[in-house]
Amino acid sequence: MESPADKMYILFHLSMGRDGKLKAFNRIWKIYSNRITFYITQIIPEEGYTVEDCHQEVMLKIYQGLDTFRAEYSLKPWIYTIARNHSLDYLKRKRADSIDDIDTLPAPGGRNPESEFISSEIFTAFEDSMKKLSDDDSQIAYLRFYEGMKLKEIAAVMNMNINTVKTRITAVKKNLQDDLRGWI
């Protein structure tokens, strides 16, 4: 998980020139690589699109964008804004291309058999309920409940009004609560 120490580490290394930039990026890679992969799967459809390609491009954009990263920026919204904007661009580009030309690679999403939560009925019900969410709602839920981002930051990432974000979060919670009535 990101901590102020991570941001300090990244800013410190960014001030050290090119070698520092690589070290800063390695830290981002370590913390965010999997999280960005999952976030991308919330934006691009699982079939017909290559999550790996998009992930590579997003990470490259983040690496290139590190030159413009400033101390006053929050790392998380900055990263997710790049991830979202680039994933949407990627989707647009791929839709313009012929579907036949696209290598199909299913999005990673294998289950961990060791987790009791995954094998539980509540997880299955929850997953079904999450699948009903729109792409935007699922991204908002992820940024809010997993990443713990502020409404203002989510609004900036999603390019939405803060009140819309608030309304959507309330709606997501209500829908999930309705679907999971009896378990929670």
Partner 1 sequence: MKIEKIIKEYYSVKVSSTGPMPFPEAISRDKRQYRRTVLNESLVNIGFHVILAAVVIAGLYRFNNGSTLSVSITKRAEEISLNIIIDRKLEQLNSNIKILKNNINTRGSL
22 binds partner 1 (CB under 8 A): yes
173 binds partner 1 (CB under 8 A): yes
56 binds partner 1 (CB under 8 A): yes
Nearer to partner 1, 98 or 131 (CB): 131
87 binds partner 1 (CB under 8 A): no
145 binds partner 1 (CB under 8 A): yes
- How far apart are CB 11 and partner 1 at their closest, in Å? 19
Distance, in Å, from the CA atom of 63 to the CA atom of 54, rounded to the nearest integer, reads 14
Helix, strand and coil in the chain, % to nearest 5: 70, 0, 25
Task: Please pick, from the candidates 13, 35, 94, 168, the single residue that binds partner 1 as defined by CB under 8 A.
Answer: 35
Q: What is the DSSP string of 19-75?
A: HHHHHHHHHHHHHHHHHHHHHHHHHS-SSSSBHHHHHHHHHHHHHHHGGG--TTS-H
- Contact of 60 with 102, CB cutoff 8 Å: no
130 binds partner 1 (CB under 8 A): yes
Distance, in Å, from the CA atom of 162 to the CA atom of 95, rounded to the nearest integer, reads 30
Contacts with partner 1 by CB under 8 A lie at: 18-19, 22, 25, 29, 33-35, 37-38, 41, 52, 55-56, 59-60, 63, 108-112, 115, 117-118, 122-123, 126-127, 130, 141-142, 145-146, 173, 176-177, 180, 184
